[in-house]
Structure 1
Amino acid sequence: MFTLSQIKYQLEQHTVAGHIYEHQQILVLQEPLNPDGSTFNMFIQHNQTADQLGLQFAIELQDQQLNFLMGVTHSNQDRSYEISPGNLKGDQKAFNLCYAFYNYPKAFYLFRCTLEASDVEFEQALKAQLFDRPALAFLNTALKMDQQGHPQYWMKRQINDLAQHMKQRLQTTLLPA
């Protein structure tokens, strides 16, 4: 059995973020850090469409189970429509809108899976909750060729890699060995 304050204390002791924001049963890592103390990259931008995704990470304590959460802000340079923090509902309110100053936030998505999810379960959840959204179809145009000449969806891969890295860091910090 653990409490949210015990979890927050563990996160602070392992310096996973510059600041940890508490919202109900969610701890949001603001200014996430790498193990060496350097700033963790939270932004991914499509090099042709200028669509950008800003990532935020959090831990949720729900019925004595730890969940890994990722808040994703989609933004671009289209001025015709933008959302504000008032558009965030429910658990989304724990997060900030993360976007570069030259972009306009268009949407916010919340990804959730158990902290103990395997890599395969995690990737399946990421696909179902995020990558399969029609509004994020631009991710399918972010292609690079690998060394064997096969196309790779680099933005999807980078989102997966960043999220997996942070999930593993949180697992190491919070779960018994």
Structure 2
Amino acid sequence: MATAVSTISDSLIQDSIVRAVRNVCVTMLKQEAGLVEKSTVTGYDGFKEKPHVFGSVGFAGVIDGIVYLCIPDDFAQDAAARVLGMSLAEVEMTGDEAVKDVVGEITNMTVGGFKNALCNVGFPCKLTLPTIVRGDSLSVAGLKGAIRHVFHFDCSGHRLIADIQLRQD
């Protein structure tokens, strides 16, 4: 068992989300994912120019917060097709449901992996259910009193953003 720490370091946050995103992409999508950059919140702005799907899962305990995964709509559709063994045409015929279900599962697994890393160093917490929003011109507001960490990933030519907001008492 890992030793408890009193504060969560930037390197713990980065290492934990990188490991979680990579594991989920390899397991669910059979694709590699790599960290492209850690950016400021304003680095997010140019990413909102096309339709996206946002998945979010919160956590509460010794540390509180939320993680948003921002996924371009075309990548979300491709992910749904891969996970469900369907063609893109079949995914489109299902409407929003297949995409939302898969993004919900990807988000839940990613945040679960991130949360487990926090628990392993003395920050036990519980997850909320995933929330999924799909649309144009979406943005994420900052959680009051939270420290925000925004990570950009590349998964087989698709960009994915993990927006982590943490609040520690």
- Please, what TM-score do these two structures have when normalized by structure 1? 0.29
Larger radius of gyration: 1
- Please, what TM-score do these two structures have when normalized by structure 2? 0.30
More helix by share: 2
